Amino acid sequence: MDQTLNILITFISIVLLLAVVIGIHELGHFLAARKFGVHVIRFKIGFGKTLMSKFDKRGTEFSLGLLPLGGYVQMLGEDNPLQGEEEKEGSSNKLTSYPEVSLGARAIITAAGPVANFLLAIFAYFLIFIIGTKDLAPVVGYVYENSLAEEVGLEVGDRILSIDEKEISKLSDLNEVLASRVGETGTLNVQYLKEERTQELSGSVFIEDWLGSDLNQSIIRSFGISPFSIVEIFEVIPESSAEKSGLLKGDKILGVGGNSIKSIVPFQEVISSMPETNTLLEVRRKDQVYIMPIFIDSFKNNFGVKTGLIGVKIIPSYDEKPQLIVSIKEGPFKAFYMAVEKTYKTSILILDFIGKMISGSVSSENIGGPIQIAQVAGSSAKAGLIPFISVIALISINLGILNLLPIPILDGGQLVLIAAEKLKGSPLSEVFIEYAHRIGLFFVVSLMIFAVFNDFVRLI
């Protein structure tokens, strides 16, 4: 039942996400075309068999396709042999085609799609800041051995203040700044505050082609830390080792085998690494601390390796340390400013990442396709409204930037052709445009195939 529900949630979330992001993109083209009087023949979301369609008073067909993986706005004169000679039924007024309007108008119509995506992202982030969201403070809960964080000198309880002189006030800031250094070589400078002290310390570590060929895990984990959180038991599985040992819902795990635990990920890793082992758990139940013996059961993972488990579902708890939660909720004016800033910073980060892939400093294996988008959409939808809105914003920015790349058949390529026509002073030859579109189509299809291939590789 859970599996069916997860599949249903993932399916609904991916359809909703793509319908919104692609629909807004095409709506940008549509509204701009209407503004300049260009007749729109068809506005379609999705490809393949048409599920439903309806014509408006101006003769535009609005339809939904079976596969929600794209969409288009077909304007009169675009791949249409009539080239503006079609007459509106029952009217003597000649319809205006796309090639008939000025180059400036065509440029605005073409750019309106990506612009609409950026506006959608701004609106999404505006909603997030208005509704209010919570993030974690950048406090270290665990430091992995032989990691960059260990070289810097970070320890459990330290609060990261800045990296490369960029202020870090919450965990998402840390992720964003570290992401900007992926694929780079140089020095990473970290400033941090020791727990229970007012003294600020700093450390640095040299990175070389950092994560350029391996970005399969969390960037923060790759840096070498896990965020601070108390491990709380949310559910005890019946007849499990946890139940036999007397663990209860609400218990907080403070340590395993005499080692302190202050983060969820290390707790999972420690238990997983100790199959069929007897150990001791340090547990706080209400105001009492208990030392409880437990036998760690085992199961074989997908690679046939024994992995430990005790039979509990866990959640992070911050009841005892509310200062670890960073709440963000702003008024409309501040929220709008922050939304614009967030959209801008995310766009710059994506462009930087694309540039690094083109230069080869970041592996192209990081390109994701529809399967990865579906996984992200499904997991964000299950996480709640705010994470799902955040993913809508991120995908919308990606779509806007992708469409602005100077590749024929994409909006950016069309803008390049319009600029070339302006410089030439006369229309480009049909043969040239046809070959340009063929090259662009080949490139885009190849990119899509490569992205889907990467998706399947990740699943294997």
Flag whether 270 is in a domain. Answer: yes
Q: How far apart (Å, rounded) are the C-alpha atoms in residues 370 and 458?
A: 13
Same domain, 266 and 178: no
In a domain, 59, yes or no: no
Give me the chain's average pLDDT, please: 85
pLDDT of amino acid 232: 92
Q: Is the distance from CB of 293 to CB of 277 less than 8 angstroms?
A: no
Structure-token match 């080692």, residue found: 259
CA distance 263 to 199: 24
Structural domains in the chain (count): 3
Residues 270 and 166 in one domain: no
Q: How confident is the model at residue 214 (pLDDT cuts 50, 70, 90)?
A: low
Which of 129-143, 304-318, 437-451 bottoms out in mean pLDDT, i.e. has the lowest? Answer: 437-451
**Residues noted as catalytic:** 26
Q: Assign residue 170 the CATH number of its domain.
A: 2.30.42.10
Mean pLDDT within 447-453? 72
Over the stretch 57-67, which tens digit does the pLDDT of each residue have? Answer: 888 999 988 87
Share of the chain above pLDDT 70, in %: 88
Per-residue pLDDT reduced to its tens digit, 153-199: 999 889 999 999 999 999 989 988 998 888 888 999 999 998 766 77
Q: In this structure, is residue 253 part of a structural domain? A: yes
Which of 184, 200, 226 is where one domain is finished? 226
Helix (H, G, I), strand (E, B) or coil at 410: coil
Q: Are both 247 and 202 inside the same structural domain?
A: no
At residue 87 the predicted structure's pLDDT band, cuts being 50, 70 and 90, is very low
**156 found inside a domain:** yes
Let me know if residue 192 belongs to a domain: yes
Q: Are residues 199 and 294 in the same domain?
A: no
Burial of 367 (0-12, 13-18, 19+ CB in 10 A): middle
Instruction: Look up tokens 């462009």; give the residue.
Output: 351
In a domain, 406, yes or no: yes
**Confidence at residue 219, expressed as pLDDT on a 0 to 100 scale:** 86
Between 288 and 211, name the one with better pLDDT. Answer: 288
Residue ranges of alpha helices (H) inside 300-384 are 332-359, 370-383
Q: Are residues 402 and 436 in the same domain?
A: yes
Question: Domain check: are 213 and 244 in the same one?
Answer: no
Q: Are residues 263 and 203 in the same domain?
A: no
For residue 81, the model assigns a pLDDT of: 37
Which range marks the domain in which residue 114 is found?
A: 2-36+101-130+390-459
Is residue 381 situated within a structural domain?
Answer: no
Segment among 275-289, 300-314, 330-344 with least mean pLDDT: 300-314
pTM for this one?
Answer: 0.83
Residues 11 and 122 in one domain: yes
Tell whether 58 is covered by a domain: no
Confidence of residue 453 (pLDDT cuts 50, 70, 90): low
Same domain? For 192 and 251 the reply is no
Last residue of a domain, one of 226, 249, 284: 226
Same domain (yes/no): 212, 293: no
The strand pairing partners of 291, in sequence order, are 282
Q: Are residues 177 and 121 in the same domain?
A: no
The mean pLDDT of 333-343, rounded to a whole number, is 95
**Taking 80 as the threshold, does the pLDDT of residue 451 lie above it?**
no
Q: Are residues 193 and 268 in the same domain?
A: no
